[in-house]
């Protein structure tokens, strides 16, 4: 939920001043630079999986089935939030850094309109930290620190010397999408039996890691950053099926949505702490626009009224999964021979029990970037993304 303060009001006024200058310069943004995990990954995990059998599931078909004739590595049946955002800004779909970095500097020149470092399975914290919290060895596919390093390594091919005015101009005219990131820092221990209280104890460290990266990008010239919060994971079929330590199967369900209340309260805790830190960044950097993207409530509106938004086959059931009341089985991945695949994905919120369908991502995009689920509201910064100011039009194609 949003927290309003004098600093936030000032930030909103600065957006009006800054957006006028930026919008006049290039019609919003010249590119998108993306960091995060599978919520934003457009193919980095798929590339890593092609190099090593130790890398996690690469989201092969039926993932990406809406992209006819190709396997994109997106962990959904179609487009993600970042895809709809790029389309709305008149930019091409943002390519994954790892998949074409080996093609030479000529290919990297294409990154001038956007580059995506987000990688499925990524965490905000280091691999050693996550392994310690889980109590076992885990392969992490590109932590946030790794992604920032990749970004710095690619800059010479895109704009020259990292500290040059050309690079600062490129970064300053780019929309920086910071995630979603941090979810896997919690998911990995939770699915291994760690309690919510145990995981919640290190939320401040996860937030500090995200904030540290934001501060580094601001030092490099970033002027506009979108920082998403975490989703209401208590509504995800994966958790509804497997449960979490300390929460009984007979208690803790929201009577309206059917979601696990304690898990959603945990996500809200992360989001509140993140917003507090973002306010501090705004106060220290009054000329930088830092936008909080309320992924939590943009998705919760669907769970409260799924039929209203066209999700008539149940908001809590996965389209592609291993059966059961939520069509989820941790031992059966979407795409396995025994997978149960729905006929109408657009009527489902969840694609595989962990990730969402294209239809859900589209509605979330509209709520965020054409609606009122960002602070400050994004459409005031970039009116180009909306045909009806502040209104979520429908779930039809952009």
Instruction: Kindly report the three-state secondary structure assignment for every residue of 180-203.
Output: CCCHHHHHHHHCCCCEHHHHHCCH
355 is catalytic: yes
Selecting among 37, 41, 185, 352, the annotated active-site residue is: 352
Do 236 and 258 touch, CB atoms closer than 8 A? no
173 is catalytic: no
Selecting among 38, 88, 99, 174, the annotated active-site residue is: 38
The alpha carbons of the chain give a radius of gyration, in whole angstroms, of 20
Phi, psi (deg, nearest 5) at residue 34: -120, 140
Residues β-bridged to residue 115: 33
Note the helical H segments in the chain.
6-26, 44-51, 81-88, 97-100, 105-108, 127-134, 144-159, 165-172, 183-190, 196-200, 203-219, 237-242, 261-284, 295-304, 358-369, 378-381
CB-based burial label for 289 (10 Å; 0-12, 13-18, 19+):
buried
Provide the 10 A C-beta neighbour count for residue 232: 26
Sequence-ordered list of residues with C-beta below 8 angstroms from that of 138, at least 6 positions apart, any chain: 127, 130, 131, 188
* Structure token pair of residue 41: 């990954």
197 is catalytic: no
For residue 32, what is the DSSP state? E
Catalytic residues: 38, 352, 355
């Amino acid at each position: 939920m949003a927290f309003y303060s004098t600093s936030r009001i000032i930030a909103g006024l600065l957006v009006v001043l800054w957006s006028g200058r930026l919008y006049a310069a290039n019609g919003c943004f010249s590119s998108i630079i993306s960091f995060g995990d599978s919520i934003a990954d457009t193919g980095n995990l798929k590339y890593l999986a092609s190099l090593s059998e130790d890398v996690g599931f690469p989201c092969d078909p039926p993932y990406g089935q809406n992209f006819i004739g190709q396997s994109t590595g997106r962990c959904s049946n179609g487009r993600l939030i970042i895809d709809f955002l790029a389309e709305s800004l008149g930019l091409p779909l943002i390519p994954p850094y790892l998949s074409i970095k080996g093609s030479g500097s000529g290919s990297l020149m294409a990154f001038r309109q956007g580059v995506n470092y987000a990688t499925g399975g990524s965490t905000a914290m280091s691999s050693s930290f996550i392994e310690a919290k889980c109590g076992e060895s885990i392969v992490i596919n590109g932590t946030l620190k790794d992604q920032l390093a990749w970004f710095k390594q690619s800059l010479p091919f895109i704009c020259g010397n990292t500290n040059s005015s050309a690079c600062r101009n490129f970064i300053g005219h780019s929309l920086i999408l910071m995630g979603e990131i941090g979810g896997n820092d919690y998911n990995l221990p939770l699915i291994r039996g760690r309690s919510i209280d145990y995981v919640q104890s290190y939320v401040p460290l996860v937030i500090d890691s995200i904030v540290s990266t934001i501060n580094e990008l601001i030092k490099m010239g970033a002027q506009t950053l979108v920082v998403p919060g975490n989703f209401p994971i208590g509504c995800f079929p994966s958790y509804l099926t497997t449960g979490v330590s300390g929460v009984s199967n007979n208690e803790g369900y929201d009577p309206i949505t059917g979601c696990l209340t304690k898990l959603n309260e945990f996500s809200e805790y992360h989001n509140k702490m993140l917003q507090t830190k973002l306010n501090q960044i705004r106060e220290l950097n009054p000329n930088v626009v830092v936008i909080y993207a309320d992924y939590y409530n943009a998705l919760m509106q669907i769970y409260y009224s799924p039929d209203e938004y066209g999700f008539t086959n149940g908001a809590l059931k996965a389209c592609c999964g291993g059966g059961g009341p939520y069509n989820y089985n941790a031992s059966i991945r979407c795409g396995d021979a025994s997978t149960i695949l729905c006929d109408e994905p657009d009527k489902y919120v969840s694609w595989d029990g962990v990730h969402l369908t294209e239809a859900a991502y589209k509605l979330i995009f509209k709520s965020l970037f054409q609606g009122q689920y960002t602070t400050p509201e994004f459409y005031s910064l970039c009116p180009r993304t909306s045909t009806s100011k502040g209104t979520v039009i429908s779930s039809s194609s952009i």
